[in-house]
Amino acid sequence: MSEIPKTYNPAEVEERWYPFWEARGFFKGRVNPGKKPYTIVIPPPNITGILTMGHVLNNTIQDVFIRWRRMQGYETLWMPGTDHAGIATQNVVEKSLIREGTNRHELGREKFLARVWEWKKEYGGTIIRQLRRLGTSCDWERERFTMDEGLSRAVQEMFVRLYEKKLIYRGKYIVNWCPKDHTAISDDEVNHTEQQSNLWHIRYPLVDSEEWAVVATTRPETMLGDTAVAVNPSDERYRHLIGRRLRLPLTDREIPIIADDSVDAAFGTGMVKVTPAHDPNDFLICQRYNENVDTAHRMVPITILDTSARTNDAVPEKYRSLDRFDARKAVVADLEAGGFLVKTEPYTNNVGRCYRCDTVIEPYLSDQWFVKMKPLAQEALSVVQDGTIRFYPERWVKTYEHWMTNIRDWCISRQLWWGHRVPVWYCVGDDACKLECREPIVARRAPASCPHCGSTNLRQDEDVLDTWFSSWLWPFSTLGWPDDTKDLRYFYPTDTLVTGPDIIFFWVARMIMAGLEVTGDIPAADGSRRASRESIVPFRHVYFTSIIRDAQGRKMSKSLGNSPDPVEVIREYGADALRFTIVYLAPLGQDVLYSNEKCEMGRNFANKIWNAGRFLLMNAGETGVPDVTPELPDAHADLADRWILSRYHSTAVALNEALEKFEINNASKILYDFVWHDFCDWYVEMVKGRLYGDAPPEVRSAVLGRAIMVYEETMKLLHPFMPFLTEELWQNLRPRGEGRSIMVSEFPKGDRSRIDTATEAEMSFVQDCINSIRNIRGELSVPPSKEISLLVRFDDPSASAVLMKYEGYFRRLARVSGIREHLSPGKPPQSAGAVVRGGEIFVPLEGLIDLSAERARIEKELNHVAGMFENTSKKLLNASFVEKAPQQIVDQERAKLESFKTTMEKLRSSLEAL
């Protein structure tokens, strides 16, 4: 069968099998009461996204789990979909509008949204198409989008329910405002970075005396919006000043000195300027102050910036319409000129930046919608603490706990157009309306009229909801929630969530909260009530993936240009090679330094597997592939056959265990070592003698049949990792019949009772002998073409019998032409020798032996053994070791000492003989 190519060609194979699987519906998850479900929901990639190495890792892991469980007989569903990504998508479309010389305001809301949908239709599926190249076995017919009709309904339902439970409220608060995106963002969307700045000390004169107060600030421009100066009430230095008034420089306003406990007397001067409209802490000070004064004396926050962070009309004319940083320069200059600037000291402070556009965030007072998180967090915390949901690696529990116990309310409104519109209407009222019906109307559907006054003049809230407000429903909204669907009953809760630790707060925590909050009223598959926590958490296991970095350890980023394009990598190395490499490189919970060349490892491995298959098929070429019969495993089996079966079963057992424990990179190592080192390096070499030689046909057939059987089963073990290659090989090995596929074959469990330790021990003895001969050949530069003979001497005659029985192995693996016993004492003349378990082996090298090389070789070995001998005897001379260590260990050490001793003796006599 010379038509099988010498190297594996992934491109051709991949493009053939993916449509094959899909067309036969293997990816589909169907409600099937006869089977246990196994469900994964994909972390929905942004529609603006393109595939990154992070996605590759993430989705390969999910596919490994899904394919493994599918083959194990679970009814698997891998639910795919995409996220509408509010700000990101709106930005992309706005940019293209700007290129066209227009903008969204010119276009108007409705037309703009039409444009975004158009964009989505055109480009929103890019990442999904790329994902398919990886071989992901998602149920594509179920693909969902966070803005599709069903999911939008889920969002509205959730909003209304939480509002009715008073867990959603609206209020004027300081939020993180992005002056570039013109929207509020949540606390988690702010990145803090250190920045070299100044601390400006400013003098505020008292109104009725020559004294003054000095405040320190990093944002001097905000002084234009100051409404007070605060001191700690217990600060003796300033107690007499409380209640007195200051003249605010650069303005004609007077502000009071007030007391507040939050002021740290030790910081700066111990006096703080209070700008309630532009600083979250100052806002709280203002609120506390207002609680204790009558209405007439309330402090009113003064907003001095507009939504672009330019100064507004609330500041003196001179400073109006300035960007905040220009305003800062102007204010500092005038303070200095006016003698108000006491000093300027260099200062490093943290500034918050928008996670999208890196613009410095402005704390901004505005009306926003919030979710009250504390009541939701409680349960969500305990299901993780009590193990109902498990994290892998476990240490993320701590991070989770910390966040959940310090959780703050979630600002969910965004001043964007692209997103789920807040399902709230306000009665604008009409002439007939005499009522103060400013109450928001929160409804699942647009109300026809105001329930208070009957006016039909209603206006919907302009804001949309944070993208995560749809994502946190993902595990159940994709299954049909809020409707009670068969899918939901059967597939919920999902099993494993695979995601990056960077979104543990954004997404993982919130999904847990949402699931616990609303899924309790969905009946279970048998119609019963979901009473247990296990049945209402959105998933049972969370696998936190590694973060992929470049070879220098930097995070992959667009701006650095260091993110490889996985589609290119697939083209160059193949999808299986990429999948295997990335999983092999990514231990649970550790970052991964990745570069494309590393895929050579996976490619070489794929090629190795390919060629092992090629070898088997070439041998089957003449006679055909023998059938697998019940007798086959043991028919005409010799050492190598029994050994590979034993190794195969322990590999299958270990692999399943590793996957159960989510040790996916360990699982890939187990496969790599078995295939390459056990199967190819040893076993294939050892069967060659019987395949090429003149073994009786029934022996040859048994040997070949068994080799192919083990190989086929190994393809199944490999399939979750390398789906394309294994399908191709599995299909090539024998005719399978229409619609059959390795991906729906049974995943091998491995049989512990077939793990044969006696055979493994015998094999390792043979391997040791062969390695010793190879070492002699290599070190003494015996040409590979030169055949050698072997002389052996063992205390136990059965050992020599074993070697002679397997002379064929020695011929093939060490080019040994014959084995004879050497019973006389001493070593044969002109020979090199090695000590092996229970005896010695010699290689006569008449005329070839280099005495000094042989001496060096033996001396090295002797040194090695002597070192171990010394170590062991030291241990045994230590009375407390013999006394305290377990008997078994002590016996072991004693046996070792004996064997080191005899080995040394033999090596020494060899040296003397030279």
Partner RNA sequence: GGGCUCUUAGCUCAGUUGGUUAGAGCGCUACCUUGACAUGGUAGAGGUCGUAGGUUCGAGUCCUAUAGAGCCCACCA
Concatenating the DSSP letter of every residue in 257-310 gives EEE-TT--TTSTTSEEEE-TTT-HHHHHHHHHHHHTS-GGG-------B-TTSB
User: Which neighbouring-strand residues pair with 194?
Assistant: 350
Considering the complex, what minimum distance in angstroms separates the CB of residue 880 from RNA?
4
Question: Whose Cβ is closer to RNA: residue 484's or residue 787's?
Answer: 787
Among 72, 126, 198, 218, binds RNA (CB under 7 A): 218
Please work out the total of residues on this chain that contact RNA, with binding judged by CB under 7 A. 95
Considering the complex, what minimum distance in angstroms separates the CB of residue 581 from RNA?
9
Tell whether residue 346 is a contact of RNA (CB under 7 A). no
Q: Rounded CA gap, 56 and 667, in Å?
A: 18
| Stretch of 51-59, 490-498, 550-558, 838-846 contacting RNA, by CB under 7 A | 550-558
Tell whether residue 887 is a contact of RNA (CB under 7 A). no
Strands laid side by side in the 816-821 sheet? 816-821, 788-794, 839-844, 831-836
Q: What helix, strand, coil percent values describe the chain, rounded to 5?
A: 45, 15, 35
Compute the C-alpha angle 481/485/487, nearest 5°: 95
| Stretch of 26-34, 260-268, 416-424, 490-498 contacting RNA, by CB under 7 A | 260-268
Kind and range of the H or E element at 37? strand 37-41
Tell whether residue 596 is a contact of RNA (CB under 7 A). no
Considering the complex, what minimum distance in angstroms separates the CB of residue 37 from RNA?
30
Among 165, 343, 884, 908, binds RNA (CB under 7 A): 884
Question: Whose Cβ is closer to RNA: residue 323's or residue 779's?
Answer: 779
Residue 10 to residues 265, 584, 721, 804, Cα–Cα distance (Å): 69, 19, 14, 44
Q: Rounded CA gap, 423 and 446, in Å?
A: 8
Nearest to 336 by CA among 199, 201, 196: 201
**Alpha helices (runs of H) in 794-886, residue ranges in sequence order:** 797-805, 807-814, 851-877, 879-884
Residues 846-875 that bind RNA (CB under 7 A): 860, 863-868, 870-872, 875
Tell whether residue 216 is a contact of RNA (CB under 7 A). yes
Tell whether residue 273 is a contact of RNA (CB under 7 A). yes
Residues 290-319 that bind RNA (CB under 7 A): none
Question: Whose Cβ is closer to RNA: residue 95's or residue 860's?
Answer: 860
Residues 143-162 that bind RNA (CB under 7 A): none
Interface map 372-411 toward RNA (x if CB under 7 A):
-----------------------x--xx--xx--x-----
| Stretch of 113-121, 258-266, 436-444, 792-800 contacting RNA, by CB under 7 A | 258-266
Residue with tokens 């005896």: 839
Considering the complex, what minimum distance in angstroms separates the CB of residue 176 from RNA?
10
Tell whether residue 278 is a contact of RNA (CB under 7 A). no
Exposed/middle/buried for residue 232 (C-beta within 10 Å: 0-12, 13-18, 19+): buried
Residues 733-792 that bind RNA (CB under 7 A): 771, 774-775, 777-779, 781, 783-785
Phi and psi angles of residue 9, each rounded to the nearest 5 degrees, phi first: -110, 95
Question: Whose Cβ is closer to RNA: residue 72's or residue 604's?
Answer: 604
Considering the complex, what minimum distance in angstroms separates the CB of residue 661 from RNA?
9
Interface map 178-197 toward RNA (x if CB under 7 A):
---------xx--xx-----
Q: What are the structure tokens assigned to 539, written together? A: 């998933």
Tell whether residue 802 is a contact of RNA (CB under 7 A). no
Residues 26-85 that bind RNA (CB under 7 A): none
Among 3, 6, 292, 434, binds RNA (CB under 7 A): 6
Tell whether residue 344 is a contact of RNA (CB under 7 A). no
| Stretch of 21-29, 261-269, 448-456, 639-647 contacting RNA, by CB under 7 A | 261-269
- β-strand pairing of 410-411 with 458-460: unpaired
Nearest to 407 by CA among 374, 384, 383: 374
Considering the complex, what minimum distance in angstroms separates the CB of residue 833 from RNA?
15
In angstroms and rounded to an integer, the radius of gyration of the C-alpha atoms of the chain is: 37
Considering the complex, what minimum distance in angstroms separates the CB of residue 504 from RNA?
8
Residues 491-510 that bind RNA (CB under 7 A): 502, 505
| Stretch of 279-287, 307-315, 716-724, 902-910 contacting RNA, by CB under 7 A | 279-287
Tell whether residue 812 is a contact of RNA (CB under 7 A). no
Question: Whose Cβ is closer to RNA: residue 116's or residue 687's?
Answer: 687
> What is the Cα 94 distance to its own chain's centre?
32
Considering the complex, what minimum distance in angstroms separates the CB of residue 223 from RNA?
10
Considering the complex, what minimum distance in angstroms separates the CB of residue 26 from RNA?
28
Question: Whose Cβ is closer to RNA: residue 467's or residue 478's?
Answer: 467
DSSP annotation of 323 reads: B
Q: Which residues contact 734 (CB under 8 A, 6 or more apart)?
A: 625
Residues 508-547 that bind RNA (CB under 7 A): none
User: Which neighbouring-strand residues pair with 366?
Assistant: 173
- β-strand pairing of 831-836 with 839-844: antiparallel
Concatenating the DSSP letter of every residue in 568-620 gives HHHHHH-HHHHHHHHHHH--TT--EE--GGGHHHHHHHHHHHHHHHHHHHHHH
Residues 666-725 that bind RNA (CB under 7 A): 666, 669, 676, 680-681, 684-685, 688, 692
Among 251, 457, 604, 830, binds RNA (CB under 7 A): 604
Count CA atoms closer than 13 A to 791's CA, side-chain side. Answer: 16
